[in-house]
């Protein structure tokens, strides 16, 4: 059941990371806000892995072939899909308020379940599927729509695209972790985290240095906020990667819907945004879906 602890930690820290990213998006473009998620997390991930090997040394030999082409293919897919997902979610923040932007991106759970079952052979119990479906209804309510006719289709498609990319990233995190099956789960999660974040930094820094150096300048002018994004992102990713090393992605991500609880509280008390009745209904459905996942 330790995966539940890691998932709750990840959901809490991700809610704050998203809040800090929304603040940063007022002065930095979507790609810079995305880079802020990774740039300070790389040294933290390296330090975490060093401390982990110091306090929990691994005596079992792990062949270098475990870090082979398939592992790096999964890492590449994690890196690119997370970058795209984050850029799209930042654009959601610019279209809608904080809570609605996060709520739409949380379509990830149902998409991860569908992709996992259809492509990767993941098995879900009846309660697990019920929790996922309830989470999907909650996402619709949190989108702010009273019916399909009142939906903003550009916003909906941006949210679904973000959720799809997050789902691909989550599924590939687990596949990369399973390539290192000889290692304890914390060490597996640490290696996947470090490799993915390092590649994301390389890709984004190279792109922005060539295409948009002014974005890097804007980030330097908001060092404190950029650091808060990175720290919250590192702790959140550590939680997600550890949980997904232990449990199937659909269950982890559906329990992770509890992030919406933290999101609504931050939206209400930190951003002073107003909540309507459908937000509260969505919140309770998220909680119900999370409970069903725990029981599954």
Which alpha helices (DSSP H) does the chain contain, by range?
A: 2-24, 30-39, 41-55, 69-95, 98-105, 108-119, 126-142, 153-178, 185-211, 213-220, 223-246, 249-255, 259-269, 277-295
How high is the pLDDT of residue 146? Answer: 56
Domain spans, the chain: 2-295
Tell me: the pLDDT tens digits for 47-89?
999 999 999 888 776 677 778 899 999 999 999 999 999 999 8
CA dist 241 and 190 (Å) reads 8
How high is the pLDDT of residue 236? Answer: 94
How high is the pLDDT of residue 87? Answer: 92
CA dist 91 and 162 (Å) reads 10
How high is the pLDDT of residue 4? Answer: 92
Find the farthest-apart pair of alpha carbons in the chain and give their distance in angstroms, rounded: 60
Beta carbons within 8 Å of 19's beta carbon, 6+ residues apart? 98, 266, 270, 271
CA dist 3 and 181 (Å) reads 17
Tell me: the pLDDT tens digits for 154-173?
777 888 888 889 889 988 99
Tell me: the pLDDT tens digits for 87-125?
998 887 777 666 666 666 666 767 777 777 777 676 778
């Amino acid at each position: 059941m330790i995966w539940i602890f890691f998932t709750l930690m990840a959901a809490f820290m991700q809610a704050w990371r998203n809040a800090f990213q929304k603040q940063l998006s007022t002065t930095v473009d979507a790609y810079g806000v995305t880079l802020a998620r990774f740039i300070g997390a790389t040294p933290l991930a390296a330090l975490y892995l060093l401390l982990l090997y110091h306090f929990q040394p691994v005596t079992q030999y792990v062949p270098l072939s475990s870090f082979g082409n398939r592992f790096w293919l999964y890492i590449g897919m994690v890196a690119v899909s997370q970058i795209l997902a984050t850029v799209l979610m930042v654009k959601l923040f610019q279209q809608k308020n904080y809570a609605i932007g996060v709520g739409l991106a949380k379509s990830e759970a149902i998409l991860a379940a569908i992709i996992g079952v259809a492509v990767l052979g993941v098995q879900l119990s009846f309660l697990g599927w019920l929790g996922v479906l309830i989470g999907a209804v909650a996402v619709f309510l949190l989108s702010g729509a009273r019916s399909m006719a009142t939906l903003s289709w550009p916003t909906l498609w941006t949210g679904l695209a973000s959720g799809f990319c997050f789902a691909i990233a989550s599924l590939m995190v687990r596949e990369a972790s399973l390539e290192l099956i000889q290692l304890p789960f914390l060490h597996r999660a640490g290696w996947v985290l470090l490799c993915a974040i390092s590649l994301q930094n390389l890709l984004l820094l190279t792109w922005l240095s060539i295409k948009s150096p002014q974005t890097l300048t804007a980030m330097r002018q908001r060092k404190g906020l950029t650091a808060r994004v990175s720290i919250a992102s590192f702790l959140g990713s550590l939680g997600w990667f550890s949980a997904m090393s232990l449990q199937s992605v659909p269950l982890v991500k559906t329990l992770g819907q509890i992030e919406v609880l933290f999101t609504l509280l931050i939206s209400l008390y930190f951003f002073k945004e107003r909540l309507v009745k459908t937000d509260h209904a969505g919140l309770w459905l998220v909680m119900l879906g999370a409970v069903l996942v725990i029981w599954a």
